[in-house]
Amino acid sequence: MTGANPGLPWTLAADGLIVTLRLTPRGGRDALEAIEVLADGRAVLKARVRAAPNEGAANAALVTLIAKALRVAPGRVALIAGETARIKRIKISGAATDLASALAAVLPRPPDHPPA
């Protein structure tokens, strides 16, 4: 089962979930913030980490942040694109629909959109 939902920064893959993120290193805290649509129309998940972008520290912090947020082992989270860029793609191995639901559940809700 594969597929993308318009307006969401993730794609379901046969063996996991692929997520597009915009990472802010030295962001003051480790957090998943919101879904944002870029000027080119791509949806990204905004994330920030305290770590500096030196020698992969920010990427490692991002992997840890995603793993903790989704309650999966860090070994199931892999950076697949964007090692030195702000826009990154990660793959989380596991049941794609369960991972997508878990990710949607941990994202902050805008004030005008109460939880379902």
Task: Enumerate the β-bridge partners of residue 48.
Answer: 24, 31
Asked if 17 and 92 count as a contact pair (C-beta separation under 8 A), the reply is yes
* Residue that has been written with the tokens 């379901």 in this structure: 12
Residue spans per domain, the chain: 3-93
What does 55-83 look like in DSSP terms, one character per residue? TTHHHHHHHHHHHHHHT--GGGEEEEE-T
Q: What is the pTM of this model?
A: 0.86
pLDDT in tens, 70-112: 999 999 999 999 999 999 999 999 999 999 999 999 987 665 5
User: Which CATH superfamily groups domain 3-93?
Assistant: YggU-like (3.30.1200.10)
- Of the candidates 76, 88, 66, which has an alpha carbon nearest to the alpha carbon of residue 16? 76
